[in-house]
Structures are given as structure tokens and as C-alpha cells.
Structure 1
Amino acid sequence: MDSKYSIQENDWAGWLEVPTSAPGWAASPVMITGVFPLKTGQGRLSLDFIQPLSPGGGLNRPGFVGGPNS
């Protein structure tokens, strides 16, 4: 699949959390602070990001792992 979307440090992105931890808080902007390939051959990444809008206040979320079917 060809994709024009890129994730880079110091970029803002939209975040959608499913299932959400609190009603009404599923979507938030996030500031990407780190992008690291996991070298699994499956296109998976480890992301560090700051989520400024969350129920308990801003969150620094290092080491989130994502990729196809994660």
C-alpha cells in the first residue's frame, strides 16, 4: 500500500483512542516527540508523544507501540 501520511518528531497529529478510557475523551491532538521502528518486519513503530487533552490533564506517553492490526 502506498501512503502519503508520515509521522515525524515535532509534528502534531490526531489521536483516536478506542475504546476510550473516559466518555467524551476519545479524540485528542498529540505532539509526536519520538518515532522508532521496531525492526520486526511488520511495519510496527514505537511512538513517544504528549497528549495535552485528557481527563486527568496532559499526558506524556512514551513507548506506545502501534502498527498494522495492533
Structure 2
Amino acid sequence: TAGIGLIILASQITPFLGLSPPTAEPGPLLEKLTFLLPLIGGFNPVSAAVAFAVVLAIYALRRLRPDL
């Protein structure tokens, strides 16, 4: 389960940071990470801020209301 979690996390880096890859991302994890590494400089700060705020809101909600 930890392995699939890493794969899902890696597949969400592009939308999380608002990256625009010139071609389709490769499938395997290490190839995907080496493909995305040069693109990190072109991230969209607004997209990254919104994504980070959503992650923080989910974390805070789970801490404040664990019954939800």
C-alpha cells in the first residue's frame, strides 16, 4: 500500500504545482520524477498555493473533527 501511495503522489505533482509538461508523463515512478524535475522551475504559484491550502484544510478538518 505504501508503494501505490508513492505512485499516486507522484502522479499528482503536475496538477498540484500547476506544471505544463510538453509531452505525456512517463508511467514508471523514477522516470516520472526525472521527467518532472526540470519542469519544477515553471510551477504556477497560484495553483500551488490553492493546492497547499486545500491540503492544510483537509488536515485541519481531520484534526478538529475526527468523526467526519
So what's the TM-score if we normalise by structure 2?
A: 0.26
Greater per-residue helix proportion = 2
| Higher RCO, Cα 8 Å, sep 6+ | 2
**Which structure is larger by alpha-carbon Rg, 1 or 2?**
2
So what's the TM-score if we normalise by structure 1?
A: 0.26
